[in-house]
Amino acid sequence: MNVDQPLPAEHAAVLIVGGSIVGISAALFLAAHGITPILVEKHPAVSTRLRAKLFYPRTMEAYRCVGADQDVYAVQRSLPPADHAAVVTSLTGPELRRWRLPAAEDFSDVSPSPSAFVKQSDLEEVVRAHARAAGADLRFGHRFLHLRQHDDHVAARVLGADGRAYTVEADYLLAADGNGSVIRQALGIGRSGGEAVSHVMEIGFTADLRRALDGRRLALAWTDLPERAFISWNTAHDRGTVSVTYDPASPERATVFDAERCHDIVSRALGLPTSSFTISGARPWHMGAWVADSYRAGRVFLLGDAAHVTPPAGGFGANAGIQDAWNLTTKLVSVLRGDAGPRLLDDYDPERRPVGALTVEQALLRVRDRVAASAESRPLLSEAAVAIGYRYRMPGDDRDPGLPEAGEPGRWRGEPGTRLPHVPLTGRDGGLSTLDLVRDGRHLLLAGAEGHSWARAARELDPSGAFLEVALLPREAGSGPARPAETCGIGDHGAQLVRPDHVVAWRVGHAAADPTAALAEATRRALRLPRVPA
C-alpha cells in the first residue's frame, strides 16, 4: 500500500472545531443524546491559562440535563470558598470595599442548580470526561485546515497529531474556534461592535498567596493603584495574573512592559517584595466587544467566542457560549433523529444572536463608568436577568426583533420564548424540579392537574413517546406559596409545549374543543415540520 495515498474520508453527523469549554460542551450535549460528534482541537491538552471561573444557574441546568453537574459541584466543594470580590490597596493591604459576587446569590427560588465557582480548566476536565464517556470522538492535537461546503454536507481537511492530513465529511460543522475564528473569516462573516474596548497587559506570576489571602473568600480583586490593576489567581493559590490597561499609542513609559516594570506592577498589586514571586510572562490582549453579523452560513454554525466576544465584567462570556451550544445541539438532535425538519436550524441565529448582542451590551455597561453608563439607552440589568431571564423572540411574535426582552427570572410565568419556570416537585433542595421533566432531548407536553385531555392528545400524536414526553403538574408541590400550574402560567386545565433546552414553545391556559388538533399544530410549528395537505 502506498503510504502517500489519500485516506478515504471519515463521516460524522457533526464535526466540532475547537475543544475549549464551548466546543467540548457541544460534544457532551450531542453525545449524551445519541449523536456521536467528532471534535478536533489544535492544542493537545486543556489550557492552564486563568479564564472564566463562575458559571451561572442556567449553565449548570444544561449540565444537570446530561448528568455532569454533580461532578462540577464536587470540584467546587474541594476548593476554599471564593465568592466575593474586593477593591484593595494591595492584596495584602486593607480592603476598601468588598461585595458578594452576584452569581453567588441564592437562586433557589428560580433554579434547582446553584452557580458553580470553579476555574474553567477544571470544568473542561469534567466535561471532557463526560463527553468521552458518552461516546464523543475527541481529537486533541488535531488542527483544522480548511473546509468546503456542499449542498448536503461539509468536507473539512484536518491535520492529525501524527502530521498526516485527513478529511472529515459531516452533515453539519460547529465552529467553536475562538475569537480569531479562521472558519468565520473563511466564510466572510463580518462583526459589529468595537474591535478593542481597551488594551490590556496580563502579567503572570507564581507565588504562595495563602498568607496574602488569609482565608478570605475572595475570587478576584482590583487595586486602587493608578493602573487600577485587576488581580486573579488559581484555586491552588500558587499562581495568578495582574492585568493593567494601557494606551499602545502613548509615547510614555506606560506602554513599556519590561522586566523591571512588570515586577514593580505585581509587587505593588500584591503588596509583596519582588523576592517573594516570579514573573512567568506578560501577554497583551485586546478587550473586545462585538457580535458576528451572522451565526450561520449554510451547514456551518458559529458559537462561543467565534460568534461574540464579551468583556469579562459580569462573567457572561463563557456562559453565553455554553448556552449557544445547548440551544444549537438540542435543535441538531431533533433534526438528526428525524423528529424535526431542517428548518428548525434556521431558528438558531434569530434566537442566539440577539442574546449575544444583549450580553455584550450589558458587559460593556459594567466596564464603563457608571455615570456614563446611566446615559445609555438601555438600562443596566441584573446578572440574573442577563444570564437567566432573557426571552427568545418566537416565530409569529410581533415583538421588536432587536435585543431580546429580559427581566428577573421570577418575573416569567411560562410565556413562549422564556425558560420554563422552576417549581420544586419533591423537596426544595436537590429534589425533582419541573425542569427535570424535560428528558433525553425530547419535547415535553406539560399540563395542569386537570389536563388529561392534553395528555391523551400527546399520546395520540406520539404513542411511543419517541419525541414527546408527557407530564401532569400536581395541584400542590414543594414549599412555595404558588401552585405549580399558576407558576407555569397554564392553570389546571391548560398546557404548554417545552423544548429540550427548557424553553417554552407554546402554551394555552384552558382546555380545547379539539386538543389533538391544537397540539398537533403547536408541535408542527415547534418542530418546523411542513403542513400536511388536507
pLDDT, residue 12, reads 97
Domain boundaries, the chain: 10-83+111-192+290-356, 196-286, 366-411, 434-527
pLDDT, residue 312, reads 83
CATH fold of 10-83+111-192+290-356 reads: FAD/NAD(P)-binding domain (3.50.50)
Q: How many CB atoms lie within 10 A of CB 76?
A: 19
- For the segment 18-63, what is each residue's pLDDT rounded down to a tens digit? 999 999 999 999 999 999 999 999 998 876 666 778 899 999 999 9
Burial 230-256 (b: 16+ CB within 10 A, else e): bbbbbbebebbbbbbebeeeeeeebee
* Burial status of residue 383 (CB atoms within 10 A of its CB: 0-12, 13-18, 19 or more): buried
Residue 252's pLDDT band (boundaries 50, 70, 90)?
low
Query: Is 50 exceeded by the pLDDT of residue 167?
Result: yes
- At a CB cut-off of 8 Å and minimum separation 6, what does 402 contact? 354
Superfamily of domain 196-286 in CATH is D-Amino Acid Oxidase, subunit A, domain 2 (3.30.9.10)
Distances (CA, A) of 293 to 39, 156, 187, 324, 475: 25, 23, 11, 15, 46
- For the segment 317-374, what is each residue's pLDDT rounded down to a tens digit? 999 999 999 999 999 999 999 999 999 999 999 999 999 999 999 998 887 643 333 3
Share of the chain above pLDDT 70, in %: 91
pLDDT, residue 1, reads 35
Q: What is the pTM of this model?
A: 0.92
Widest pairwise Cα distance in the chain: 82
- For the segment 368-426, what is each residue's pLDDT rounded down to a tens digit? 643 333 334 578 899 999 999 999 988 767 666 667 889 999 899 999 999 999 999 87
- For the segment 178-195, what is each residue's pLDDT rounded down to a tens digit? 989 999 999 999 999 876
- For the segment 437-472, what is each residue's pLDDT rounded down to a tens digit? 999 999 999 999 999 999 999 999 999 999 999 999
Residues forming a β-bridge with 147: 156
Residue 278, φ and ψ in degrees, nearest 5: -125, 135
Distances (CA, A) of 411 to 289, 378, 391, 414: 29, 19, 11, 10
Cα separation, 413 vs 432, whole angstroms = 19
pLDDT, residue 373, reads 38
Question: Tell me, what amino acid is at 76?
Answer: Q
Mean pLDDT value of segment 82-102: 92
Average pLDDT, the chain: 90
Q: Is 50 helix (H, G, I), strand (E, B) or coil?
A: coil
Nine-digit cell at 104?
Answer: 453567588
CATH fold of 434-527 reads: Glutaredoxin (3.40.30)
Residue 478's pLDDT band (boundaries 50, 70, 90)?
low
Residue 80's pLDDT band (boundaries 50, 70, 90)?
confident
**401 close to 350: Cβ distance less than 8 angstroms:** yes
**268 close to 203: Cβ distance less than 8 angstroms:** no
Query: Is 60 exceeded by the pLDDT of residue 159?
Result: yes
**323 close to 59: Cβ distance less than 8 angstroms:** yes
Q: Which residue has the higher pLDDT, 286 or 92?
A: 92
